[in-house]
Amino acid sequence: METETKTTQSYSEQWYWDERYTNESDPFDWYQNYTSLAPLINLYVPRRTHPVLVIGCGNSAFSEGMVDDGYEDVVSIDISSVVIDAMNKKHSDRPQLKYLKMDVRDMKVFEDASFDAVIDKGTLDSILCGSNSRQHSTQMLEEVWRVLKDKGVYILITYGAPDYRLRLFKDSRSWTTKLHVIDKSLTDHQPLETSKWELTKPIPLDAEGSSVESALGKSPDVHYIYVCIKDESLKREADTA
């Protein structure tokens, strides 16, 4: 148990991922793959010619899946130089895919309002496993907000339930947030019709997240998907209140 705890605490550290990707080169998708999430991505990111940012990409095939599905400008970043070097080499013949070594808490390479969407499968979760997690997660969410265009979407796929994740969003910026869920057991080998929950239908969500238990029951076996929409008008209202 102690070893497992130390491992999860290392999820926010570059050395851990460099070591892991040096020893594990096979593609791995955290939580869900692109095929299972495609209907939701297509719903909230309809303009396939506009730039999309995938954070904490690792050696996942997710970005590749987006390009295969017609997206033309997918930028992927990761803190590990080992995996970024490997992914650049792997996809050197696909100009629609760009891989950059970068810390999501400091994305100054990107100008403000650069992306229509930011997609996160487990990166926020990894940061929350480390030291100073609240500070670092707030830094990350501030940067995600900054690089998004107005009305752009931050799509977070996570194990984190609303009672905690909603507080993080509230403490960073003013987001309009929708919640979707997907069965943890769902894979690309199963049709969406076998899912207990309709992926593209939002779950009722109040400010504290207490409405979710009424809709899903206690401890549902799902991944939560938060679709956070950047709304500059909410920020202006908060600044003048």
- Token digits for 43? 């719903």
**pTM of the model as a whole:** 0.90
Could you tell me the two tokens for 35?
């095929």
Measured CA to CA, the distance from residue 67 to residue 87 in angstroms comes to: 14
Is pLDDT above 80 for 107? yes
- HSE, CB side, 13 Å, CA atoms: give it for residue 144: 33
Strands 222-230 and 148-158: antiparallel
pLDDT tens-digit series, residues 221-240 = 999 999 999 998 876 565 65
Is the model more confident about 7 or about 147?
Answer: 147
Quick check: 2 pLDDT over 50? no
Q: Which residues sit opposite 76 in a β-bridge? A: 54, 99
Name the strand (E) or helix (H) holding 237.
helix 232-240
The pLDDT confidence band at residue 189, using thresholds 50, 70 and 90, is very low
For the segment 133-147, what is each residue's pLDDT rounded down to a tens digit? 899 999 999 999 999
Q: Please state the φ and ψ torsions of residue 150, each to the nearest 5 degrees.
A: -60, 135
185, 176 in Cβ contact below 8 A? no
List beta partners, residue 183: 222
Report the C-alpha gap between 97 and 142 in whole angstroms.
25
Strand partners, 178: 227
Q: Which of 113, 77, 119 is nearest to 227 (CA)?
A: 119
Question: What is the rounded (10 degree) CA torsion for 120, 124, 126, 127?
Answer: 140
What pLDDT does 15 receive? 85
Provide the pairing of β-strand 74-78 with 115-121.
unpaired
Q: Which structure tokens are listed for 18?
A: 């460099």
Confidence of residue 10 (pLDDT cuts 50, 70, 90): confident
